[in-house]
Amino acid sequence: MRRRLALPLAAAALAVPAALLPAGTASAAPADKPQVLSSWTQTSATSYNAWAAARANQSAWSAYGFDWSTDYCSSSPDNPFGFPFKTACARHDFGYRNYKAAGTFATNKTRLDSAFYEDMKRVCARYSGATRTSCNSTAWTYYRAVVVFGMTAPADATVA
């Protein structure tokens, strides 16, 4: 009989101190942060649109602790030859900064660079003829630059 009482008493003794502990710290990010980050950094237009909507309402996502800062296209023009790549660069920065902070940048870099290229190609799809060809060539150049030099790009930014 002693054994039967010992187990419930031991369990109760352990449960009380756990109940007195705070559930989590105020700075702890929600458990689904990696899934949300992944959903916003895919190559699809749906992913881009979801990220853009979240970016426009960053305060709703403040519990996640995402780094929304950007230097846009770094030292390259944000709108080369008039092609508006600035927002594509901002999403690319978002992916780089947040995956670096999560410690999973290396395993996600290829996809982030591909998403950047797809975002720029969607910009180019607005044009036709030689203008579209020129835009796609510029997008390819920007894409190849991040593939080659993206690992060494600074992670800090000056604009949020």
Q: How far is CA 134 from the centre of its chain?
A: 29
As a whole number of angstroms, the distance between CA 94 and CA 114 comes to 14
Task: Examine the residue annotation and report whether 92 is marked as an active-site residue of this protein.
Answer: yes
Candidates 40, 85, 92, 99; catalytic one? 92
Length of the chain: 160
Please return the burial class of 68, using the count of CB atoms within 10 Å of its CB with bins 0-12, 13-18 and 19+.
Answer: middle
Catalytic center residues: 92
